[in-house]
Amino acid sequence: MAEPIRVVCTVTGTDRPGVSAALFEALTAYESDSAVRVEVRDVEQVTIRGKLTLGVSLAVHGDAGALASQLNKTCARLGLTAEVVIGATKPAKARKTRKQHVILLGRPLTATALAEAAARIAELGGNIDRITRLSKYPVTSLELIVSSTDGVELRKALAEAAKATNTDLAVEPAGLARRATRLVVFDVDSTLITGEVIEMLAEHAGRGPEVARVTEQAMRGELDFAESLRARVQQLKGLDAGVIQAVRADLRLTPGARTLVRTLKRMGYLCGVVSGGFTQITDQLVNDLHLDFSAANTLEIRDGKLTGEVVGELVDRPGKAKALRNFAAAARIPMSQTVAVGDGANDIDMITAAGLGIAFNAKPALRAVADTSLNQPYLDAILFFLGISRDEVEEADAGS
């Protein structure tokens, strides 16, 4: 059998229902002659603000000129423009590459940021295959599908670009693994909620500034978390346990937290919290947000007063990673399919153990080891790092 003739057809114009169907029906009509066969080798279509661009690569066994005439007539009838190239040069065999998802977020997302990212991709020999907007609220986010030979180098280069343009950015390998993420775990203080619970308790004990100073040092990684926690809890000795209820009433979820958890749960994710804080607070969050897992420390209460001690195994920096592994094991989920979100140095072990570690408005020690950082004030922007668009969030809300 003779080699087929390569034909590339590019169609542009105003999009409307039935355009693609009409074009492929034209190919079917041409193929009605049993001596002719048309193979579809590749198709790519994009619509921007109602304007269609459709590219089709064909291998034609038969009269390619007649096929081109048929396509031109069909497009003219539909008010479209067709460019048909017969005998198009076969593209050179590309280097073996792996697809990467690159997510850019900004408020605003500037042209400079996108230009810088595109330049870094090109410098590494990568190619941007597709760009899709994921959201315009509460932040603008774009997803780039990039063909790259080295995901590690791409992540490093784009991290530098993000820093230079004040943009948040994530690089994740494409494929089944990304779509298989099934468990998301959050730190609580300054992540799922605003503020630090122990500081709120300390304010009632008249020790707020002292405790806040130690908390800040611990979150920066300057103090051992376990030792700092015990020292701070000691400052609460003798405090009436009724204060816990007052602190519960003052809790404020981080903007976007409820939307994030609600959306993840609707999509079948399991969600949990791992906190260096206290069960007396996290239990309320579990009930309020319908979380699946929880691990935190427990304040000892005796005769209606805080004793200045915690009871049970301490949930410290290693303890957070252990809790994540326990959650994953209980749900029979591999660690590669987990996501952890935190803000401080005591989250380092958990963040590095997870399949995807996200530093949320985090201290430098955590940002240095996280897979990606989010420096926007909206927690639901994490959805965009997972490839979930704002439209999908709103559709899920409308259908609930």
For residue 161, give the CATH number of its domain: 3.30.70.260
The domain in which residue 210 lies consists of 183-369
- 233, 341: one domain: yes
The residue length of the chain stands at: 400
Q: For position 215, what pLDDT does the model report?
A: 87
Query: What would the two tokens of residue 217 be?
Result: 């040092």
Per the domain annotation, does 47 fall within a domain? yes
Q: Is residue 387 part of a domain?
A: no
Residues of the chain with pLDDT under 70: 1, 31-35, 88-97, 149, 175-180, 400
Q: Which residues contact 309 (CB under 8 A, 6 or more apart)?
A: 230, 233, 234, 299, 300
Task: Confirm if 259 and 324 have CB atoms less than 8 A apart.
Answer: no
* CA 5 distance to own-chain centroid: 43
Q: What are phi and psi of 363, to 5 degrees?
A: -70, 155
Check whether residue 142 and residue 209 sit in a common domain.
no
Please state, in angstroms and as integers, the Cα–Cα distance from residue 195 to each residue in 79, 235, 315, following that order: 59, 18, 19
Q: Are residues 188 and 169 located together in one domain of the fold?
A: no
Q: Is 155 found in the same domain as 188? A: no
Residue 90 has what pLDDT? Answer: 62
Residue 93 forms part of a structural domain: no
Domain boundary among 36, 62, 86: 86
* pLDDT at 48 (0 to 100): 81
Q: Are residues 255 and 218 in the same domain?
A: yes
pLDDT at residue number 397:
80
Regarding whether 45 and 123 lie in a shared domain, the answer is no
Instruction: Give the number of domains in the chain.
Output: 3
How high is the pLDDT of residue 176? Answer: 59
Statement to judge: residues 188 and 170 lie in one domain = no
Could you tell me the CATH number of the domain that includes residue 264? 3.40.50.1000
Per the domain annotation, does 247 fall within a domain?
A: yes
Is the pTM of the predicted complex or chain greater than 0.75? yes
Q: pLDDT value at position 130? A: 86
Same domain membership, residue 77 and residue 134: no
Among the listed residues 243, 237, 244, the one whose alpha carbon sits nearest the alpha carbon of residue 307 = 237
Q: Which segments of the chain are extended strands (E)?
A: 5-14, 37-48, 51-61, 81-86, 98-106, 127-135, 140-148, 168-173, 183-186, 270-278, 293-302, 305-311, 338-342, 356-360, 372-374
Single out the residue in 174, 209, 232 at which a domain terminates: 174
Active-site amino acid positions: 187, 189
Strand partners, 43: 56
- Are 265 and 338 found together in one domain? yes
The pLDDT assigned to 304 comes to 96
Residues 256 and 351 in one domain: yes
Residue 11 lies in a domain: yes
Asked whether residue 384 is assigned to any structural domain, the reply reads: no
Do residues 216 and 250 lie in contact, with contact meaning Cβ atoms separated by under 8 Å? no
**Is 36 within 8 Å of 61 (Cβ atoms)?**
yes
One domain, residues 111 and 164? yes
269 plus 286 within the same structural domain? yes
With contact defined as beta carbons under 8 Å apart, do 212 and 190 qualify?
Answer: no
Which pLDDT score is estimated for 93?
Answer: 56
Q: Is residue 227 part of a domain?
A: yes
